[in-house]
Amino acid sequence: MSNVRHNWTKEEILKIYNKPLMELLYEAATIHRIHHDPNTVQVSTLLSIKTGGCSEDCGYCPQAARYHTNVEGNDLMKVSHIKAQALRAKASGSSRVCMGAAWRNVKDGPEFDQVLEMVRTINKLEMEVCCTLGMVTENQAQRLAEAGLYAYNHNLDSSEEYYKEVISTRGFEDRLQTIDNVRKTNVTVCSGGIIGMGESIEDRAGMLVALSTLNPQPESTPINALVAVEGTPLEDEKPVEIWEMIRMVATTRIVLPETQVRLSAGRTQMSNEGQAMCFFAGANSIFAGDKLLTTPNPDVNEDMKLFEKIGLIPQKPFTKNVQPLTIEAKDSKFVDLGEKPKWTRPQHKIQRNEQKKIKAKETRKQEK
Ligand code: SAM
Ligand code: DTB
Ligand code: SF4
C-alpha cells in the first residue's frame, strides 16, 4: 500500500524541517530506501532553447528583459543544433534533456511546432525529454504528449504568500492550472521551487504543502538554491547555507516519498561533502553540464568523479515510467479546440522591486 499522504499541514512539515539534523537525516534516508535505489541518481542536462528577453518580472530571473543582467539573448534554436547537444548529453551519461524557453506561456504557431519537432527528435534518441516553456493550456500539453514528451517542468517556486513578493506578472493559480493541464495528459509533472529568496521557513513549508497536496504528487521536484544574479531584484540575497539545503531536501523527501528530488541550481556553491549529504537525505537527481540555463553549473567530469568516489550510478532512461510514443506531425489527430486561456496578470507593486528601480535610476543619473 502506498504511504503517500496528500494532507500534510504546514505545522507538521515545520516540525520535520526543524528536527535535530541526525533524526531528520535518518528518517529521510529510511523513507528514501523504501521507495528508491539509494545508489542511483537521475542525471538531466538543461538546454536553453530560447534565451533572454522575457516579458515577465520573476525577481530571481536573469532572463527577464526588464532587469539589466549580462545575459545574451537568442532566438529559438534550430532542431539540428538541439539534436547535436542532446547526443553530447547522452554520451556524457545524461538520461534526460530539459529544454527551457524564456517565455511567459506557449503560443500556438511555428515556434511551438519547432519545439514539438525537438521533442520528437530527442525522444527518438531514447532519452527522456522534458520541457519548461511557461504556462500551457490542456491542448498544448496534449500536443507535447503526442510528440513524446516525458516530463513538463513548471515550478511553484515558493509558498502562495511569498510568491506575491517575487512575481507580479502572473499568479500562483496560473501555476496550479498549468500543472493541472499537464496532469490531464500522460506527461509526468516536474514541479518544485527555489530557496534563498528571502522567504521564511514557514514559506518553505507552505511550498511543500502545496506540492504534497497535489494528487498525484509530482514525479520530480527540483529544489533550487537561488543563484543571485547581478541586476535582478534578488541580487543581494545571501547564499543558502548547506544546512538549509540539506534540511529542505530531507523534508521534501519525507513529504514526497515517491518523487525524484532534484538537487538543482546552486550546486557550484556546494562542496562534494555537502552534496553527498543531500544525496543521503534523499536527493536522487541532478542537473549536469557546465551551464544551467544562463548561469554556471559544476563540470560534468567533476560530477562523475564524485559519483565514482561515493558509489553513485546514473539512472537509466525510462526507469520510473515507460517511454512515451511519438506521433509524427503528419499522423497527428490533434484537434484545435480554440482554447482561449485566461492567464492572470496581478500587477501588484513589489516593494523590493520599486526600491531597486529608484536605485538604478539614481545610479544612471550619477553616471551621466
Ligand atoms: N520561462 C519558463 C517559466 O518561467 O516557467 C521556464 C524557464 S524558468 C527559468 C524555470 C525555473 O528556473 C523557474 O521557475 C525557477 O524555479 C528557476 N530559476 C530561474 N532563475 C533562477 C535562479 N536565478 N536561481 C534559481 N532558480 C532559478
Ligand atoms: C529548475 O527548477 N531549475 C532549472 C530548470 N528547472 C529549468 C533552471 C535553473 C536556472 C538557474 C538560473 C539560470 O541558469 O538562468
Ligand atoms: Fe521569464 Fe521564466 Fe525567467 Fe520568469 S522565470 S522571467 S517567465 S524566463
Domain limits, the chain: 10-318+345-367
Catalytic position from the list 61, 175, 253, 267? 61
Among the listed residues 54, 130, 135, 144, the one whose alpha carbon sits nearest the alpha carbon of residue 99: 130
Q: Is 261 helix (H, G, I), strand (E, B) or coil?
A: strand
Ligand 1 contacts CB of residue 208 (under 6 A): no
Nearest ligand to the CA atom of 232: 1
pLDDT value, residue 1: 55
53 CA → ligand 3 middle, Å: 9
Ligand 3 contacts CB of residue 56 (under 6 A): yes
CATH superfamily, with its number, for domain 10-318+345-367: Aldolase class I (3.20.20.70)
Using the structure block, give the residue that is written with the C-alpha cell 529568496.
Answer: 197
pLDDT value, residue 3: 78
Nearest ligand to the CA atom of 234: 1
Atom of ligand 1 nearest to the CA of 295: 23
pLDDT value, residue 365: 84
Spatial separation of the C-alpha atoms in residues 99 and 90, rounded to whole Å: 14
pLDDT value, residue 335: 76
Nearest ligand to the CA atom of 194: 1
DSSP 3-state percent helix, strand, coil across the chain (nearest 5): 40, 15, 45
Residue nearest to atom 14 of ligand 1 (CA): 155
pLDDT per residue as tens, the chain (368 positions): 577 999 999 999 999 999 999 999 999 999 999 999 999 999 999 999 999 999 999 999 999 999 999 999 999 999 999 999 999 999 999 999 999 999 999 999 999 999 999 999 999 999 999 999 999 999 999 999 999 999 999 999 999 999 999 999 999 999 999 999 999 999 999 999 999 999 999 999 999 999 999 999 999 999 999 999 999 999 999 999 999 999 999 999 999 999 999 999 999 999 999 999 999 999 999 999 989 999 999 999 999 999 999 999 999 999 999 999 999 999 987 777 777 788 999 999 999 999 888 887 887 788 87
Among the listed residues 210, 155, 158, the one whose alpha carbon sits nearest the alpha carbon of residue 182: 155
State the helix-helix crossing angle for 110-123 and 79-91, rounded to 10 degrees: 30
Ligand 1 contacts CB of residue 102 (under 6 A): yes
pLDDT value, residue 42: 98
Q: Is 278 a catalytic residue?
A: no
Among the listed residues 219, 221, 282, 204, the one whose alpha carbon sits nearest the alpha carbon of residue 246: 282
pTM, full prediction? 0.97
155, 167, 221, best to mutate for ligand 1 pocket (most atoms within 8 Å of CB): 155
